[in-house]
Structure 1
Amino acid sequence: MTGTTRGDETPQYGETWVYESIVGALPGASLSGRAAIALQVAVFQTSLLVLAWVYDLWAVVPAGTAAVGVAAVGSALMLRFSADTRRLDLPPAYHRFLFSSGIEVVLGVLAFVALVTHLFVFDPRSGGPTLLTTLFGPEPPVIVVYLMLLVLWDLCYRIGTSWWAAVVSVWRSYRYTFDADTAAALRRTDATNVAFGLVQVVLLPFLGGHPVLFAAVLGHVVAVTVVSAVALATIETG
């Protein structure tokens, strides 16, 4: 097929990530992508610093800041990926699978449930210090744990989105043929997804004493990189 650039770049509901739809649906608000990300960072980071001051938990600020930063970069790369994709005249089935299915939310929920199960069931049974006690002491403040889970959900949602984008990209490269310009643009979107996977390496130093979580994050980074690289390398032109 021959790809072209679309004249209308305004996203319509049904061709957006759930994250974009939520931001766009806020009543009385008209936030640009940059403004939404800036608000996200401001709310999370301010909350982190205030709670660190109230509960004297300054030792958790580096890990928390890293998580907030990775989530913010993930938001930026998600928006870049979706905007660059919508600029192209691509098969409707690809757009439908990528944006309209909501599968990225399902994958994010699965990742988050697995993480919560690890934190509150598997980790306490391991016999050593848990991630919660390592970060917050033997009696973690409830509101601090709430904020932690909120940030972790943000990360898990973006991980689910990254996974779904990689899987659909492999299907796209197998199913369709593109002109040279469209293929080059799609390779750039696949590279954007690889970049988000690699950004998550920042979290690994904070998981050194927790091998299961370390292996899960590292395995995710490697897997998304490999799958996206396959999609990138197998785009056919004609």
Structure 2
Amino acid sequence: MRRSTSRSERRVEPYGETWVYESIVGALLGLHLSDRQAITLQVGLFEVAVLLLAWWYDLGSAVLPGTVAVVVAAVGSVVMRRFGRRTRRLDLPEPYRRLLFGSSIEVVLGVFAFVALVTYVFVFAPRSAVPPLFERLFGSAAPVPVTFLTLLILWDLCYRIGTSWWAALVALWRSRRYAFDAETVRALRRLDALNVAFALTQLAMVPFILDQPVLLLAVGGHVVAVAVVSTAAIWTLRVRDGHVPSAST
């Protein structure tokens, strides 16, 4: 049985029933933005900033990696909105919903990923034989506005990565603890597959970090880990298909 819900993308969900990103979008200037409007605003602002700064500081070589990062982050936003909305439509155990949306652990994981990335870019790479990423993209002295925008986009990516990780881990916990009716199982499998699909889109950044073995390992390891954990969650659901007819306990 599904929870009753509006078909409109503009519905405001209760506090604690959304990702932090969804709450921010819902509170933005008091507007209730649709998925299309929110993503268009995100892509438009970031991409215009990328193009303007690349033109102003003559950094044409940074446009393509910057655009790819913006697009990957935007895809993450689409996935988060759809994942959240479709999850809330299902009749799922309250502990799972609270753990997924109300704990804000995805922000904590995103912060850890971002701090690790900044440490690598500004401390580890310059002290090693690896060509510094910022120097390759922006020259020996990256302009302050360019650095600010780059770190903002990287935080956006790290937050999405943290969310993807958390969704996979909670999905595995959910599948091992609860059993569901056949319809809910099919819907949860699609959601877990959606999370894997988003992780795979992050491979679009690989061509720009081929000379950064640590980043290659981090991105590749993240994609593989999300795929493995989500697949385990899917297979656990399949095994328990007919054990318990309801997920309300």
Do both proteins adopt the same fold according to a TM-score greater than 0.5, normalized to the shorter chain? Answer: yes
- Correspondence 1:151-190 to 2 at 5 A: 151-190=153-192
Post-superposition CA distance 1:148-186 (Å, at most 9, x none): 000000000000000000000000000001000000000
* Letter in structure 2 aligned against 1:117: T
User: Are residues 1:229 and 2:226 paired?
Assistant: no
* Letter in structure 1 aligned against 2:30: G
**Which of 3, 8, 24 pairs up with 1:6?**
3
What percentage of aligned pairs have identical amino acids?
62
In the alignment, what sits opposite 1:16?
Answer: 18
**Which of 62, 74, 89 pairs up with 2:91?**
89
- Correspondence 1:42-61 to 2 at 5 A: 42-61=44-63
In the alignment, what sits opposite 1:144?
Answer: 146
Counterpart-to-counterpart distance in 2, 1:27 and 1:209: 42
**How much has 1:128 moved relative to structure 2?**
4.1
Post-superposition CA distance 1:57-96 (Å, at most 9, x none): 0101110011001000011011111111011010000000
Q: Taking structure 1 as reference, are residues 38 and 15 closer, same or farther at Cα in structure 2, changes over 3 Å only?
A: same
Structure 1 vs Structure 2 CA RMSD: 0.9
* Letter in structure 2 aligned against 1:197: A
Contact 2:171/2:230 (CA < 8 Å) preserved in 1? yes
**How much has 1:30 moved relative to structure 2?**
2.1
Q: Which structure 2 residue ranges, 5 or more long, are not aligned?
A: 243-249
Higher relative contact order (CA 8 A, sep 6+): 1
Counterpart-to-counterpart distance in 1, 2:16 and 2:152: 25
In the alignment, what sits opposite 2:101?
Answer: 99
* Letter in structure 2 aligned against 1:222: V
Counterpart-to-counterpart distance in 2, 1:8 and 1:82: 13
Counterpart-to-counterpart distance in 2, 1:13 and 1:26: 14
In the alignment, what sits opposite 1:73?
Answer: 75
**How much has 1:29 moved relative to structure 2?**
1.8
TM-score, length basis structure 1:
0.97
In the alignment, what sits opposite 2:121?
Answer: 119
Q: Which structure 1 residue ranges, 5 or more long, are not aligned?
A: none
Size of the alignment, in residue pairs? 235
Post-superposition CA distance 1:13-46 (Å, at most 9, x none): 1110000001111233221122111100000000
Contact 2:130/2:212 (CA < 8 Å) preserved in 1? no
* Letter in structure 2 aligned against 1:7: S
Structure 1 runs (4+) greater than 4 angstroms displaced: none
